[in-house]
Every structure is written in structure tokens, then in C-alpha cells.
Amino acid sequence: MTTNTESIFSFIDTYAESKEELYLEAIVEVCQKWLSGETQPMLSETVTKEDIRRGIQLAVLKGMKKNVQPNHQMTPDSIGMLIGHIASKLAAGEGNITLLDPAAGTGNLLYTVMNTIGNDITATAVEIDDLLVRLSAITAELLEHPVTFYVQDALRPLFADPVDIAISDLPVGFYPDDENALNYELMPAAGHAYAHHLFIEQSMKHTKPGGHGLFIIPANLFESEQSSVLHPYLKKQTIIRAIIQLPDSLFKSAAHAKSILILQKPFLDKKVTHDVLLAKVPNMTDKHAMALFLQKIDIWAND
């Protein structure tokens, strides 16, 4: 039997393959037709938001392979689901949760998190690439998630209210706009700033006191050349709550390995100290080890 995810993928794929234009552009077009009711995939009555997200994600992955976009890699589900799990624990018992993803890309990470947290959640998404914003905006509409989009350099002034949780799969590398980078504490005394550092600072600036930032970071973040500016910033402006190492098997090589950094914005003048959770995600195919790991995360989040 065909699953809803497969039906959605084949509905989008059949349309996109029949068109001359860029595959990713055709995805936006067919999703607009789906939204307006002009044409629709054959779905069972029990279709879920995750079915819809995954179906569109498969088509976007195919589109990205056709036109290689090295700077726009979609956050893989294995990592997105883990961030979703952690975010839902941090949001537990709270209503009207607000999220910010300042480097939203296709929205795959953001919607994985929104689907995991459930209802009563709104988000702000920022992305510099216009096509990715159109893709993620149409996906948000099909998922019925309330998301406000900003198509801009997220490191320029951001006119968005502070949120409960900022999440980001950080774009890694140098930020070329030195003049703008001078507005950040994380601008080094010499040379260009690291974009991934500035994204952390910008996200925490737009987080409410007591709110959290969940970042997918290069695993060597704390040993890099510019860590001497990062350490004092983190100490002064944030509380480091956890550093979670992701399994090497998820990445092409050790040099590409990533971790999850969880920060909390202190409550105004009160900076309480907590133990930092240092953990390593086990092999994700080992169900027993994963269950134990998630238990550890849940205990930490309840704390």
C-alpha cells in the first residue's frame, strides 16, 4: 500500500519532472495548486503533518541534488527530530510557544520542531535565499503552521519580537560584511567574524530572558581560532546548559562533525549556575541505547 508520504512525493515529482523550469521552482508551483485545491495528491483521511512534511522534503532533496546547492543543506531528520524532542521538553507545560529560526532554509528543521511540539506555537523564519523562502512558505501553509517570514540577511537588524526558543542549523564560515559585524560582541579584533558566532549572538539577542537557544554547531566550535572571543561572550551573556555530540556516522568526515549547543538567556540580573550536560548521542539505530539517552535528556530538561 502506498503511504501518504509516498503519494505526496510522487504527486510533486510527476509534476516537477514534466516541467521545463527548475525542479525546486516547480515544487513551489505544484504546492500552490495543491493549496488552492486545483489538484491534489491522493491521501488517506489520516494524513498527518509529518506525512506532509516528509513528502515535500523528499521532493526538495531530489531538487537539491539536481541543482547542487552546497550552502543550503537541509537539516537531516535524525538531527531535526532530536532537536524537536529537546525543544518539546523545554516547552512542556507552556502555552503559546514562540520560535525563531534565523537561517530557516527549506524550513525542514523548523517544521520538524513545530510538528513535535504540536499546536499553540508560532514561528519567525529568516532566510536570505528567496527561492528557499518561497518553498518554506508554501510548506508552512500546507502544514497550517503560523510562520512569519523575513527574506533578509539575518545578521542585519531583525524586527521580530523575542521568542521562547531559537533554533538554528548554523551557516558556518566567515561573514563578509565587517561593517555590520562591528555591531556584534563576537566581532574579533582582526579579520572577518565567523557567521556562526554572529548567528548565536543574534539568536540570543532575540530570545526572551529564561528562553533557550538550540544550535547545530561545528563540533570543534570551542577549539577554533576565534574561540577566545566566543568564551567570554558565552560566559557574560548566556548560560551554557548542554553540549551534545552527534554521532560521527552522520557526517562525511570527522572535519564535518557537528554537535548541539543549548544556551539559556539569563533572567535579567539573576544568573544562576547549573551543571552543563555533556552528552554523546549513541548510534541512532541502537534503539535501547537511544531510549536511555532520551531518558537522560528528559531528566535534564525536567530539571
Q: Does 297 bind ligand SAM (CB under 6 A)?
A: no
What is the rounded CA–CA span in Å between residue 170 and residue 156? 16
Q: Does 155 bind ligand SAM (CB under 6 A)?
A: yes
Q: Which stretch binds ligand SAM (CB under 6 A): 9-17, 73-81, 137-145, 284-292?
A: 73-81
What is the rounded CA–CA span in Å between residue 16 and residue 167? 31
Whole-angstrom CA distances from 78 to 43, 54, 104, 107, 283 are: 25, 12, 17, 15, 11
> H or E segment at 174?
strand 174-175
Among 41, 63, 105, 213, binds ligand SAM (CB under 6 A): 105
Give the residue with the Cβ less far from ligand SAM, 29 or 129. Answer: 129
Q: Does 116 bind ligand SAM (CB under 6 A)?
A: no
Between strands 207-218 and 258-264, the pairing is antiparallel
Among 4, 5, 98, 106, binds ligand SAM (CB under 6 A): 106
What is the rounded CA–CA span in Å between residue 173 and residue 165? 24
Q: Which stretch binds ligand SAM (CB under 6 A): 36-44, 72-80, 186-194, 206-214?
A: 72-80
The burial of 81, by beta-carbon neighbours within 10 Å (0-12 exposed, 13-18 middle, 19 or more buried), is given as middle
Query: What x-and-dash track marks residues 227-246 binding ligand SAM by CB under 6 A?
Result: --------------------
Among 39, 48, 71, 183, binds ligand SAM (CB under 6 A): 71
Q: Does 75 bind ligand SAM (CB under 6 A)?
A: yes
Phi, psi of 134 (to 5 degrees): -65, -40
Give the residue with the Cβ less far from ligand SAM, 54 or 72. Answer: 72
SS3 196: helix
Q: For binding to ligand SAM (CB under 6 A), which residues are involved? A: 71-75, 103-106, 108-109, 126-129, 132, 153-155, 169, 171
